Amino acid sequence: MDLGEAERLFRDHGHVVLRRARRLLRSEEDAREALQDIFATLLGAARPFAGRSSATTFLYAVTTNYCLQRIRDRRRRERLLRERGPAPSSTEGGRAEAAAVVTQLLAKMPEELAPVVVYYYLDQMSQEEIAAVLGCSRRHVGDLLEAGRAWIAENERRVA
């Protein structure tokens, strides 16, 4: 992707990426870092956007996947610190307990289930909308949601 195309994409859709990252990462600083990382990656890619969907849909999916990976990485770092070092100080402050449980669940959830669960429950997207973002059938989305519900039911007691 050339610089002009990246600038246009950033100017037209950067606010979508930032808003999405804020919602998932729950931190302004982390969201701004995500915005920079995502567009830097796109700038270095030869053909990041194949045109199979709208640019907004593409960036929405890229941002969701990036943020879920950041949540998983954060969870791994916390586990390693608990195992090998002093207990981490709480940076979550006044966040609601429910948000912490959701974040912990997303960090442990299988990679194929997490985006679907985020789109459906947090973003309140329809199964048809999710299928369009993921490029799969609505039926497959339904199967993933069913598997996600089962996984949550089994694992939420362990996280809470």
Given this model, what pLDDT does residue 54 score?
A: 87
Given this model, what pLDDT does residue 95 score?
A: 41
pTM of the model: 0.58
Burial class (CB in 10 A: 0-12, 13-18, 19+), 79: exposed
- Per-residue model confidence as pLDDT tens digits over 53-102: 788 988 999 999 999 988 888 777 676 656 654 444 444 443 456 566 67
Structural domains of the chain in order of their starting residue, each with its CATH number: 1-89 (1.10.1740), 95-160 (1.10.10.10)
HSE on the CB side for 152, CA within 13 Å? 17
Query: 65-78 burial string, b = 16+ CB within 10 Å, else e?
Result: ebbbebbbeeeeee
Q: What is the mean pLDDT of residues 17-27?
A: 93
